[in-house]
Amino acid sequence: MNDNDAVIKRVHFDYVLIIVTAMLVMIGVIMVYSSSAVLARERMNDGYYFLKKEIIFAGIGFALMIIASKVPYQLWKKMVYPILGFAFIMLILSFVPGLKNTAGGASRWIRLGPVTFQPSEFAKFALIIFLAYSLEKKASRIKSFGVGFVSNAAVAAVLILMVLVQKDLGAAFMLCVITGLMMFVGGVRLSYLGASLLSALPAVYFLVASVGYRRKRIMAFLDPWSDRYGTGFQIIQSLVSFNEGGVFGKGLGEGQQKLFYLPEAHTDFIFSVLGEELGLLGVLLVIGLFMVFFWRAVLIGLKAPDLFSRYLAFGLSVFIGVQALFNISVVMGLLPTKGLVLPFISYGGSALTTFLIAVGVLLNISSYKVNKKEA
Three-class secondary structure assignment of 220-284: HHHCHHHHCCCCCHHHHHHHHHHHHHCCCCCCCCCCCCCCCCCCCCCCCCHHHHHHHHHHHHHHH
The tens digit of pLDDT for each residue in 336-348 reads 887 789 999 999 8
Read off the amino acid at residue 146: G
Q: Check pLDDT > 90 for residue 118.
A: no
Burial of 347: CB neighbours in 10 Å, binned 0-12, 13-18, 19+: buried
| Chain segment 257-287, per-residue pLDDT in tens | 888 888 889 999 999 999 999 999 999 999 9
pTM of the model: 0.92
The amino acid sitting at 268 is D
Q: Mutual orientation of helices 119-137 and 80-93 as an angle, nearest 10°?
A: 150
DSSP letters along 280-331, please? HHHHHHHHHHHHHHHHHHHHHHHH-SSHHHHHHHHHHHHHHHHHHHHHHHHH
**Mean pLDDT value across residues 140-152:** 94
Give residues with Cβ within 8 angstroms of 83, minimum separation 6. 76, 125, 126, 129, 130
Average pLDDT score over residue span 122-129 = 96
DSSP 348: -
Provide the pLDDT for residue 278: 96
Choice among 80-84, 121-125, 215-219 with the minimum mean pLDDT? 215-219
What's the pLDDT at 289?
98
Cα–Cα dist 262/303, whole Å: 43
Greater pLDDT, 114 or 127:
127
Element (H, E) at 110: strand 106-112
Confidence of residue 106 (pLDDT cuts 50, 70, 90): low
Question: Does 359 have pLDDT greater than 90?
Answer: yes
With cut-offs at 50, 70 and 90, classify the pLDDT of residue 252.
very high
Residue 375 binned pLDDT confidence (cut-offs 50, 70, 90): very low
pLDDT for res 9: 59
pLDDT at 243 > cutoff 50: yes
Enumerate the domain spans of the chain: 3-367
Q: Which pLDDT band holds residue 249 (cuts at 50, 70, 90)?
A: very high
| C-beta of residue 274 within 8 angstroms of C-beta of residue 31 | yes
Mean pLDDT of the chain, nearest integer: 89
Using the predicted structure, report yes or no on whether residue 212 has a pLDDT greater than 90. no
Residue 312: Cβ within 10 Å count: 30
Q: How confident is the model at residue 8 (pLDDT cuts 50, 70, 90)?
A: low
Residues 301-308 have a mean pLDDT of 93
Does an H or E element contain 109, and which?
A: strand 106-112
**What is the DSSP secondary structure assignment for residue 94, as one 8-state letter?**
T
Tell me the CA distances in angstroms from 31 to 42, 197, 259, 265, one per residue in order.
18, 37, 14, 10
Output the pLDDT for position 233.
87
Phi, psi of 260 (to 5 degrees): 70, 15
Q: Which residue has the higher pLDDT, 319 or 368?
A: 319
Q: Which of 159-168, 279-288, 323-332 has the lowest mean pLDDT?
A: 159-168
Q: How confident is the model at residue 227 (pLDDT cuts 50, 70, 90)?
A: confident
User: Could you give phi then psi for residue 205, rounded to 5 degrees?
Assistant: -60, -45
> Looking at the predicted structure, is the pLDDT value of residue 19 above 90?
yes
For residue 103, what pLDDT band results from cuts at 50, 70 and 90?
low
Q: Give the residue-averaged pLDDT of 136-145.
A: 94
**Mean pLDDT confidence for 343-365:** 96
Phi, psi dihedrals of residue 358, rounded to the nearest 5° = -60, -40
Q: What spatial distance separates the first Cα and last Cα of the chain, rounded to whole Å? A: 5
**In sequence order, which residues have a C-beta less than 8 Å from that of residue 187 and are 6 or more positions away?**
135, 139, 142, 143, 148
Check whether 59 has a pLDDT greater than 60.
yes
Greater confidence (4 vs 284) lies with 284
Answer yes or no: is pLDDT of 145 > 80. yes
**For residues 263 and 33, what is the distance between their CA atoms, to the nearest angstrom?**
16
Residue 224 predicted with pLDDT over 70: yes
Looking at residue 374, its pLDDT comes to 43
Residues 340 and 346: their CA atoms lie apart, in Å, by 9
Return the minimum-mean-pLDDT range out of 9-23, 94-108, 148-162: 94-108
